[in-house]
Structure 1
């Protein structure tokens, strides 16, 4: 029931929704940056933060930021693809999130500045996501940053989609030591065929039908096969990495996340899911309003990666 939604978060979203707001890449990016700055708490200190570029990518040399929570020992590696509907947000917007994940999981976290739509529509983000996963560990070696051969792909929303798509592309590739993936309220079905899309696209959740259409129209062009672009309908096999999917009750993508876990479990893949009953899509970016839930999210990530 909608009455179960976290009241403070719903009120904040309602206050930042207006009928005269025009959605463009400029206004949506500005609004997201304004929210990020307003929600930011003191940043978690890292032993080292490195900004560099992955040269030699097939299409685009992807800038990355590397977060190292402990430089005294080799650590496993986690690539975090940020959310933003393929059209907004940046490494800097997600800097606090990546620091918290690095601290909680004791992983080196790599955050890529992948190309955004509409300037770079589908499949640009997918191409960049795969290139980063293939080149991340060699780049750490080049920089003489100690790591173990243990790679996790992680992301929220569109970033969760990118992580899932990349895991599928690498599931039979023994040259990449992919062990886990963590998807936070991921969009996995670009055809929007599950009931939670209709149920949770409204002003109360902050994810209106108009906003849904806007995001996906930035990414996809006429003629693109959205089903083919959907990780939920792509190849899944027993070779997929161990998977954790975190969903929220009031997220349009809740049902597809659950179905993705079900399909993996049927193949014998270790796949787990947890649903936050009172949360909406994008809660991870509301640190002041959802601090307890966000801390619990990072704890669940860390617990999952220990096995």
Structure 2
């Protein structure tokens, strides 16, 4: 029997009450409120901000990045991290606490990319930003004298997972990605799988909000199936992948289907399913702290395994 975590269920009840009141007031989604909402929730529910010895802001090809090095005197592998937010919200500041925690849990250098957002910059601007950063990343780290191992992983949550998976699906001789981490990723822009309906209301991320996000991202009548990582071909150089899903997430089935597709194609893949969580629970850390700690540990274990081979 499906059951939401008790602490989360209490919080969800209040959230859904406020959401109902907002709908009754005829409050529609808009860019400013969605961006402020993600920032406020993350700031409110992630209050433990760990110290990282080296944090540096820089620019690669006109794209802002932030580098987190947990041991500046030690050469470590690199994880490029792409934040969530439906391609509309999120930035380096909002995801700063999560990147800090990833750096410590994984013992990787985290490079967060401040890719361009819709609706100001629709598809495929964000993908282009990420690819440019990846193509020039190691040369930039060399110029900055960052102590690193030239071993590259990429990861992201939600829309950031979509960007990561999209980049991994593109054959590019200037980019070699060894591992991929997808946290409750958005992989099907057609929203065609059952969990979109099953979990589309009452579990934090609403189906109509996802639809609104995609309307901002795709503005030129693109074929959304051709843009969806779930439906893109898997090539021989695809990285080893960890797919993380949650039971009460509208995007659940996309991640599960993607994992099985990778396995069928002979790609090394792992699937970690959280049976009592919702989408974006890392941003709700104070509500479900043990679940967040466990997830960081799972990601760290995956990235540390054979991480210099």
Asked whether 1:296 is paired with 2:294, we answer yes
Residues 62-77 of structure 1 aligned to structure 2 (within 5 Å): 62-77=63-78
Bigger CA drift: 9-18 or 152-161?
9-18
Bigger CA drift: 297-306 or 29-38?
29-38
Asked whether 1:181 is paired with 2:175, we answer no
Asked whether 1:190 is paired with 2:176, we answer no
1:216 to 205, 208, 214: 214
Residues 133-282 of structure 1 aligned to structure 2 (within 5 Å): 133-170=134-171, 173=173, 175-202=174-201, 204-282=202-280
Shift of 1:40: 2.3
Shift of 1:129: 1.5
C-alpha separation between the residues in 2 aligned to 1:295 and 1:139?
Answer: 32
Q: Which contiguous aligned blocks of 4+ residues in structure 1 show a shift greater than 6 angstroms? A: none
For the residue of structure 1 that corresponds to 2:225, the secondary structure is coil
Shift of 1:206: 2.2
For the residue of structure 2 that corresponds to 1:28, the secondary structure is helix
For the residue of structure 1 that corresponds to 2:227, the secondary structure is coil
Shift of 1:222: 4.3
Equivalent pairs counted in the alignment come to 299
Where structure 1 has 5 or more consecutive residues not aligned to the other structure, the ranges are 56-60
C-alpha separation between the residues in 2 aligned to 1:124 and 1:12?
Answer: 36
Query: Which digits, 9 at most, give the CA deviation of each residue in 1:260-288, with x for residues without a partner?
Result: 11111112111010111111111111110
1:53 to 29, 42, 59: 59
Query: Which digits, 9 at most, give the CA deviation of each residue in 1:134-153, with x for residues without a partner?
Result: 12221111101011011000
Where structure 2 has 5 or more consecutive residues not aligned to the other structure, the ranges are none
For the residue of structure 1 that corresponds to 2:86, the secondary structure is coil
Output the TM-score relative to the length of structure 2: 0.93
For the residue of structure 1 that corresponds to 2:169, the secondary structure is helix
Asked whether 1:25 is paired with 2:12, we answer no
Shift of 1:306: 2.1
**Structure 1 counterpart of 2:118:** 117
**Structure 1 counterpart of 2:10:** 8
Query: Which digits, 9 at most, give the CA deviation of each residue in 1:50-93, with x for residues without a partner?
Result: 001113xxxxx110000010011110000000000000111100
* C-alpha spacing 1:238/1:136, structure 2 compared with 1 (3 Å): same
C-alpha separation between the residues in 1 aligned to 2:11 and 2:135?
Answer: 38
Shift of 1:131: 1.3
Shift of 1:250: 0.7
C-alpha separation between the residues in 2 aligned to 1:13 and 1:179?
Answer: 39
C-alpha separation between the residues in 1 aligned to 2:294 and 2:301?
Answer: 10
Bigger CA drift: 13-22 or 33-42?
13-22
Output the TM-score relative to the length of structure 1: 0.93
Query: Which digits, 9 at most, give the CA deviation of each residue in 1:12-66, with x for residues without a partner?
Result: 53254221232100111112222122112231111110001113xxxxx110000
C-alpha separation between the residues in 2 aligned to 1:163 and 1:135?
Answer: 16
User: What's the Cα RMSD here?
Assistant: 1.4
Shift of 1:11: 2.7
Contact preservation (8 Å) 2:206, 2:250 = no
